[in-house]
Amino acid sequence: MDFKLKDETIAIRDLIKEFAVKKIEPIAARIDREDQFPVEIFREMGRLGMLGLTIPEEYGGAGLDYLTEGVAMEEISYYSGSFGLSYGAHNNLVADNISRNAGKEQKEKYLPGLVSGEKMGSLCLTEPGAGSDALGGMRTTYESKGDGYEINGSKTFITNAPLADVFLVYAKNGKSYSAFILERGDGVETPKKIRKFGMRGSPTGEVSFKNIRVGKERIIKGEGQAKSIIYNGLNAERAVLAFGPLGIARRALDEALNYSNQREQFGKKIGEFELIQEKLAYMFTRLEAARLLAYKAAFLAKEKVSDPSFAAASIMLASETATSITKDALQIFGGYGYSEEYPLERYLRDAILYEIGAGTTEVRKIVIAKALLKN
Ligand SMILES: Cc1cc2nc3c(=O)[nH]c(=O)nc-3n(C[C@H](O)[C@H](O)[C@H](O)COP(=O)(O)OP(=O)(O)OC[C@H]3O[C@@H](n4cnc5c(N)ncnc54)[C@H](O)[C@@H]3O)c2cc1C
């Protein structure tokens, strides 16, 4: 067993780290405070080859594996959890999804713009009445009209929607579920940006489709293929997104260690108190254990193994671990942790999203248990 990352993965991680230290770290607090996504920095990452890491080179990507994309996601999330979320949604939920499932002409049309950062992508599955039961509760419809399709309905909680150009949309016609690539220019509207507890700066919004007419070339894989697209992609999506909470948690631990070495009470550094040491020891151990599982799940996703339990377990453990580590880090900072002068409260607010977005902790438990019982 080799625990060393590949040279190319280390090179990408170092490149992203250098970029994030210069461009994201100085504005991370402002991104949260003003709830504004820095689009220019996102586009610059595209120009520098940091988007579309898993996209084949013929479409402008780097042709790398899910583990590399996960490591990149952890690095960005270390500096800004909300930038990391938008990065993951664009690259993994949209670009990689198109790369895995779309036809050659669709890939040629959409992937280069998504990889260069010229276009931003949104995955539209969740609806006001359809969250965990995304397919069963779906109300967005498509029907054949002339040479193509007409799409009607609305989506909510869609990451990047307020700024997106390309929308990967799931819709139903009776019992048939299909996936479409829509463009803002088709008449897609994003009427509302949703204000949130955390992940501020990652724009989340509603999306509405009113009599949107598109040609047959916009359907992915043909009619009735949405279920296979969703289920076949879940391992890759969960495996990569698990690295987001790991990045937030690693940052919180680093800040807690620094503070423990500086802050003095009762004439001692607080890091000398055993109750603080116990917290730090558990934070480190939980983080390292969650990362090992994340590496394994990303490796298995690369190998296209169909067992969903590792990817679901990985994101469940990573997100619960991040909630607990960011909360302990805030506690170590005492009153300063609770104040907005320090970033600890932001880390906790950002971390909690990963227990809800991309499927809740409860749904992940169900997926893991069902897979175990079936096997
Ligand atoms: C910031 C943010 C970004 C998001 N980005 C996207 C995106 O880009 N694209 C997209 O399509 N969606 C996105 N989502 C939506 C997200 O995937 C859903 O919020 C999530 O799947 C849960 O759906 P829900 O909010 O409707 O909760 P519900 O499904 O209504 O769940 C409510 C509660 O009931 C529990 N529950 C539900 N079913 C069961 C069950 N069978 N057993 C036990 N408990 C159950 C849930 O775990 C939860 O605790 C995002 C959400 C957020 C908050």
- The answer to whether 69 and 187 have CB atoms below 8 angstroms apart is no
Domain-ending residue, one of 76, 99, 120? 120
Question: In terms of domains, do 131 and 215 share one?
Answer: yes
Residue at 237 is within a domain: no
Q: How far is ligand 1, taken at its centre, from the CA of residue 211, in Å?
A: 27
Question: In terms of domains, do 127 and 112 share one?
Answer: no
Q: By alpha-carbon position, which residue is closest to atom 22 of ligand 1? A: 131
CATH number of the domain within which 356 lies: 1.20.140.10
Which atom of ligand 1 has the smallest separation from the CA of 130? 26
CATH number of the domain within which 104 lies: 1.10.540.10
Residue at 229 is within a domain: no
For range 101-128, the mean pLDDT: 98
How far apart (Å, rounded) are the C-alpha atoms in residues 351 and 179?
30
Query: Residue 73 corresponds to which tokens in the numbers above?
Result: 């996601």
- The answer to whether 72 and 79 have CB atoms below 8 angstroms apart is no
Domain that holds residue 248: 242-374
CATH number of the domain within which 177 lies: 2.40.110.10
Q: How far is ligand 1, taken at its centre, from the CA of residue 321, in Å?
A: 19
For range 93-120, the mean pLDDT: 98
Q: Which of 37, 85, 139, 157 for mutating ligand 1's site (highest number of atoms within 8 Å of CB)? A: 157
pLDDT for res 303 = 66
How far apart (Å, rounded) are the C-alpha atoms in residues 183 and 109?
12
Query: Residue 138 corresponds to which tokens in the numbers above?
Result: 């779906």
Which atom of ligand 1 has the smallest separation from the CA of 122? 8
Q: By alpha-carbon position, which residue is closest to atom 45 of ligand 1? A: 362
Does the pLDDT at position 64 exceed 90?
yes
Residue 127: DSSP 8-state: B
Phi, psi of 114 (to 5 degrees): -70, -40
**Side chain identity at residue 98, one-letter code:** I
Q: Which of 132, 138, 199 for mutating ligand 1's site (highest number of atoms within 8 Å of CB)? A: 132
The verdict on pTM exceeding 0.85 is yes
Q: By alpha-carbon position, which residue is closest to atom 11 of ligand 1? A: 125
Residue at 51 is within a domain: yes
Residue at 234 is within a domain: no
Question: In terms of domains, do 297 and 350 share one?
Answer: yes
Residue at 232 is within a domain: no
Which atom of ligand 1 has the smallest separation from the CA of 194? 1
Question: In terms of domains, do 112 and 30 share one?
Answer: yes
Question: In terms of domains, do 246 and 360 share one?
Answer: yes
Q: How far is ligand 1, taken at its centre, from the CA of residue 102, in Å?
A: 26
Question: In terms of domains, do 104 and 133 share one?
Answer: no
Question: In terms of domains, do 87 and 136 share one?
Answer: no
Which residues approach ligand 1 with their CB closer than 6 A?
89, 123-126, 131-132, 157-159, 196, 199, 204, 353, 356-360, 362-363, 366
The C-alpha angle 107, 24, 348, rounded to 5 degrees, equals 100
DSSP string, 77-113: HHH-HHHHHHHHIIIIIIIIHHHHHS-HHHHHHHHHH
Question: In terms of domains, do 127 and 104 share one?
Answer: no
What residues act catalytically?
237
Q: By alpha-carbon position, which residue is closest to atom 19 of ligand 1? A: 357
Does the pLDDT at position 305 exceed 80?
no
Q: What is the mean pLDDT of the chain?
A: 97
Which atom of ligand 1 has the smallest separation from the CA of 199? 1
How far apart (Å, rounded) are the C-alpha atoms in residues 84 and 234?
19
The pLDDT tens digits of the residues spanning 129-172 come to 999 999 999 999 999 999 999 999 999 999 999 999 999 999 99
Q: What percent of the chain has pLDDT over 90?
A: 95
Does the pLDDT at position 51 exceed 80?
yes
pLDDT for res 304 = 66
Question: In terms of domains, do 58 and 104 share one?
Answer: yes
Q: How far is ligand 1, taken at its centre, from the CA of residue 70, in Å?
A: 22
The pLDDT tens digits of the residues spanning 270-283 come to 999 999 999 999 99
Q: By alpha-carbon position, which residue is closest to atom 16 of ligand 1? A: 357
Residue 225 CB contacts under 8 Å (≥ 6 apart), including other chains = 101, 178, 179
Q: How far is ligand 1, taken at its centre, from the CA of residue 360, in Å?
A: 6
The pLDDT tens digits of the residues spanning 309-340 come to 999 999 999 999 999 999 999 999 999 999 99
Residue at 162 is within a domain: yes
Question: In terms of domains, do 102 and 141 share one?
Answer: no
The count of structural domains within the chain is 3
Question: In terms of domains, do 255 and 211 share one?
Answer: no
- The answer to whether 165 and 184 have CB atoms below 8 angstroms apart is yes
The three-class DSSP label of residue 180 is strand
The pLDDT tens digits of the residues spanning 15-47 come to 999 999 999 999 999 999 999 999 999 999 999
Q: How far is ligand 1, taken at its centre, from the CA of residue 271, in Å?
A: 39
The pLDDT tens digits of the residues spanning 227-268 come to 999 988 889 999 999 999 999 999 999 999 999 999 999 999
| Residue owning tokens 């254990």 | 289
